[in-house]
Amino acid sequence: MALLLGSHRDFDVADQNLRSCRTCGEWLVRYVPYCTVCNTPVGPVAFPEAGGTPGEKAEGAVRIAHMSDLHLGRPRATPKPFDTFRIWMDALAEVGVDIVAISGDVVQRPGDVKSLRAARGILEESGLPFVVVPGNHDIDRPGKPGSFEDIFGTFPRTETHHGLTFILIDSNAGLPPDERRRHERLFARIVCFVEGRVGEEQLRELDDMLEVAPKGPRVLLLHHHLVSQPQWVVRMGLMAPLQDAHVVRRWAMSQGVILALHGHHHIMRRAGVQSGGLVVLNGGSSTLEGPPYRARLVDVHRGGKRRVVPVELRL
């Protein structure tokens, strides 16, 4: 087993060298060649090269391990995802991780209580603090508490770890079954619901929570995409972004969020930056697509700089 750290990228919280869509004014995402709201084509923006050693964690920095889409409990999977998950947790502890953030799809089948409890047990055994939100494979019925909430708590809520305030959102909850398309309701009878929406109610609840939350950097954790995905994916009706993604992005910026972590699409993509320096990262899949299996380390430094380091687990 080897844990390989890739080349890193540094993002300064004060970075304002960004652009808006010439058609609708929406903030542009660096790695998406079109506006995520109106689809107006735009040219790519290059990332600056960063130097230094990826494995080094600066004094006072908080290291987040971002994992996603574990899909535990899949039948006949080889190697067994639970074994891979345990190896991940051991490896992350060895590279100075301070907290593990999992952005949904912990299990393969909604209502798989046995696998959900086993996942929580592995997290607790690691000794590392953790925050977890539900994905579309984790929930029985959108907007209604179920087995996931029984094991991992209710949403939305905030938690503070190592001076960082984590904003935990259920990105399924704002789209109840009767507002979903017919083909998705049929698909849910066989597999699971797919699309997501945060909804105004969750954001209002979080506004109240954040009024009394500690001052300091804030991290948003949710499952569905905050930016558009490749058009062939959207045309197939799969992996669509949040229906209110642009609302959530702007809300996050208004609340001082400097880092947004999400999952859903199993292919890891480059970091995107929104106006004001909000860094958006998708997690790929940490136990499903591989080997090698992938995750990210994010070091949040004093002053708000974030260093993003891709990590590969080779078994």
Of residues 180, 102, 104, the one with CA closest to residue 139: 104
Radius of gyration of the chain (CA): 18
CATH 3.60.21.10 at 2-46+59-314, yes or no: yes
**What does the domain layout of the chain look like in residue ranges?**
2-46+59-314
Distance CA 314, CA 71 (A): 18
Could you say which DSSP state residue 177 is in? Answer: G
Tokens of residue 60, six digits: 């006072």
Residues in CB range of 168: below 8 A, 6 or more apart: 131, 132, 133, 155, 156, 157, 158, 159, 221, 222
Tokens of residue 306, six digits: 């974030």
Task: Give pLDDT, residue 315.
Answer: 72
Question: Does 291 sit behind a cis peptide bond, omega within 30 degrees of 0 on the bond before it?
Answer: yes
Q: Are 223 and 196 in contact (CB under 8 A)?
A: yes
Distances in Å between the alpha carbon of 38 and those of 19, 26, 139, 241, 264? 15, 8, 31, 14, 22
Distance CA 45, CA 30 (A): 5
Distance CA 173, CA 141 (A): 9
What string of pLDDT tens digits covers the 315 residues of the chain?
668 877 777 777 655 455 677 787 766 665 566 676 677 877 654 333 344 466 778 888 999 999 999 999 987 777 788 999 999 999 999 899 999 999 999 999 999 999 999 999 999 999 999 999 999 999 999 989 999 999 999 999 999 999 999 999 999 999 998 988 888 888 878 888 888 999 999 999 999 999 999 988 999 999 998 876 555 555 555 667 788 998 999 999 999 999 999 999 887 777 777 666 788 998 888 998 777 888 999 999 877 788 888 888 887
Task: Give pLDDT, residue 185.
Answer: 84
Of residues 245, 243, 226, 220, the one with CA closest to residue 165: 220
